């Protein structure tokens, strides 16, 4: 099983957000996608999951072309994702958020559920059991009957990942799963992600939290201005001068950034003194 981006392009009007990107993603590994704001990371996830149409090139899973398929067809091919901004069903309970995603993928199963009550009962039990197991994995079992929208932010992030896992996806796409988490929650997430690694699953994690990326990822893709800047192991990425430049700019830029930050601190200090 491989997921392949082949000469991928995405154009928003006249803006080229993804420019000729080719990457292979392998199962059993966690692939990190990093890059400065606006580099095109979420656009890659949105195209893979079918939320955005590709402007050029191809996305293939196991040789089957995903680009051009509808969102539900891509989901049924085994691709699941989370969002940069959490999107839960706020009014539903935590358990229901998972159960709605546990749907029969074959028409035959749908008819059996409708026409044969014992089968429907067995399916319902299996659904609840599988969803509770996932909730326990994310330490959410005590929230099962709570409204999803009432959960603390960190728990909502975990619930979103749990929901993406309900159909046991072959490809798991996580768009900034650590965004807004505190240090303790990020450590918990890092441990969970490491446990989710499986020979049957391709994991792609977009993240700005470099501790998480360097700990959990086996391979890292670095995006910059819509282009693939670098790919390699965490050690190779850390040693790359191209990557350092993309994040920090040139040595002169760095001096300018430091001077601007100092300037800003001085201004804030003056304002604070005036107020007191
Ligand atoms: N729906 C859209 N319509 C128009 N332009 C878009 C759209 N989505 C993204 N863009 C633009 O495409 C570029 C890449 O955006 P994208 O969201 O993929 O970046 P990102 O790497 O995920 O950034 P961040 O780290 O801030 O989340 C940006 O210039 C952004 O403004
Ligand atoms: Mg993004």
**50 lies in some domain:** yes
Q: What is the CATH number of the domain that holds 190?
A: 3.40.50.300
Within a domain: 85 = no
Residue 246 forms part of a structural domain: no
Answer yes or no: is 83 within a domain. no
Atom in ligand 1 nearest the alpha carbon of residue 226: 14
Ligand 1 atom 2 nearest Cα = 12
Tell me the DSSP string of 100-121: TT----SHHHHHHHHH-HHHHH
Residues 197 and 173 in one domain: yes
Q: Which residues of the chain have pLDDT under 50?
A: 251, 254, 257, 268-276
Same domain for 71 and 194? yes
- Whether residues 173 and 50 fall in one domain: yes
Distance from C-alpha of 244 to C-alpha of 264, rounded to nearest angstrom: 24
Say whether both 48 and 94 belong to one domain: no
Ligand 1 center to residue 40 CA distance, Å?
A: 6
Please give the pLDDT value at position 211: 93
Give me the torsion for CA of 23, 7, 76, 139, rounded to 10°: 40
What residue's CA is closest to ligand 1, atom 27? 37
What pLDDT was estimated at residue 272? 42
What is the pLDDT, as a whole number, of residue 252? 52
Last residue of a domain, one of 164, 184, 213: 164
Q: What is the pLDDT of residue 273?
A: 45
Secondary structure (H, E, C), 198-254: CCCCEEEEECCCHHHHHHHCCEEEEEECCEEEEEECHHHHHHCHHHHHHHHCCHHHH
Q: Are residues 228 and 255 in the same domain?
A: no
Residue 53 lies in a domain: yes
Q: Let me know whether 74 and 111 are in one domain.
A: no
Distance 34 CA to ligand 2 centre (A): 10
The answer as to whether 84 is a domain residue is no
Do the domain assignments include residue 48?
A: yes
Q: What is residue 132's predicted lDDT score, i.e. its pLDDT?
A: 97
Predicted local confidence at residue 121, as pLDDT = 84
pLDDT of residue 109: 74
For 48, residues 6+ apart whose C-beta sits below 8 A from its C-beta are 3, 59, 66, 74, 79, 81, 171, 173, 204
> Tokens 């069903």 sit at which residue?
89
Full residue range of the structural domain in which residue 265 is found: 251-276
Total number of domains in the chain: 3
pLDDT value of residue 59: 98
Q: Give nearest CA residue, ligand 1 atom 6.
A: 12
Instruction: Based on the fold, state whether residues 156 and 260 are members of the same structural domain.
Output: no
230 sits in the region (left: phi over 0; alpha: psi -120 to 50; else beta) called beta
- Same domain for 118 and 150? yes
Position 244 in a domain: no
Among candidate residues 221, 175, 157, 189, the one with its CA nearest the CA of residue 29: 221
Predicted pLDDT of residue 55? 97
User: Do 23 and 66 sit in the same domain of this protein?
Assistant: yes
Q: Give me the pLDDT at residue 243, please.
A: 86
Return the pLDDT at 164: 97
pLDDT at residue 271, rounded to an integer: 47
Residue 10 CA, closest ligand 1 atom number: 12
pLDDT at 267: 53
Q: Which ligand is nearest to the CA of 208?
A: 1
Residue 120: per-residue pLDDT? 78
User: In terms of domains, do 147 and 38 share one?
Assistant: no
The ligand minimizing its distance to the Cα of 83 is 2
CB 1 within 8 A of CB 135: no
Please tell me the pTM assigned to this model. Answer: 0.87
Give yes or no: residues 219 and 110 share one domain.
no
Ligand nearest to the CA of 222: 1
- 6 plus 72 within the same structural domain: yes
pLDDT in tens, 100-152: 988 766 777 777 777 888 877 888 898 899 999 999 999 999 999 999 999 99
Pocket of ligand 1 from Cβ distances under 6 Å: 12, 17, 35, 37-43, 84
């Amino acid at each position: 099983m491989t997921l392949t981006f082949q000469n991928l392009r995405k154009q928003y009007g006249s803006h080229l957000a993804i420019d000729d990107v080719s990457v292979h993603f392998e199962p059993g590994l966690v692939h990190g996608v990093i890059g400065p704001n606006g580099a095109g990371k979420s656009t890659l996830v949105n195209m893979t999951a079918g939320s955005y149409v590709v402007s050029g090139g191809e996305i293939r899973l196991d040789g089957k072309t995903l680009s051009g398929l509808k969102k539900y067809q891509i989901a049924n091919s085994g691709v699941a994702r989370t969002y940069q901004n959490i999107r839960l069903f706020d009014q539903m309970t935590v358990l229901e958020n998972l159960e709605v995603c546990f749907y029969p993928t074959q028409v035959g199963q749908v008819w059996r559920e409708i026409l044969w009550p014992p089968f429907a009962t067995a399916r319902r039990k299996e659904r609840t059991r599988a969803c509770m197991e996932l909730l326990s994995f994310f330490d959410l079992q005590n929230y099962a009957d709570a409204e999803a929208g009432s959960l603390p932010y960190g728990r909502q992030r975990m619930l979103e990942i749990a929901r993406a896992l309900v159909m046991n996806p072959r490809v798991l796409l996580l768009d900034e799963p650590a965004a807004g988490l505190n240090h303790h929650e990020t450590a918990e997430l890092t441990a969970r992600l490491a446990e989710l690694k499986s020979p049957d699953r391709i994991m792609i994690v977009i993240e700005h939290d470099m501790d998480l990326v360097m700990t959990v990822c086996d391979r890292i893709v670095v995006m910059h201005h819509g282009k693939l800047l670098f790919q390699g192991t965490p050690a190779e990425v850390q040693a790359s001068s191209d990557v350092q430049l993309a994040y920090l700019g040139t040595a002169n830029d760095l001096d300018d950034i430091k001077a601007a930050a100092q300037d800003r601190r001085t201004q804030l200090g003056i304002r604070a003194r005036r107020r007191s």
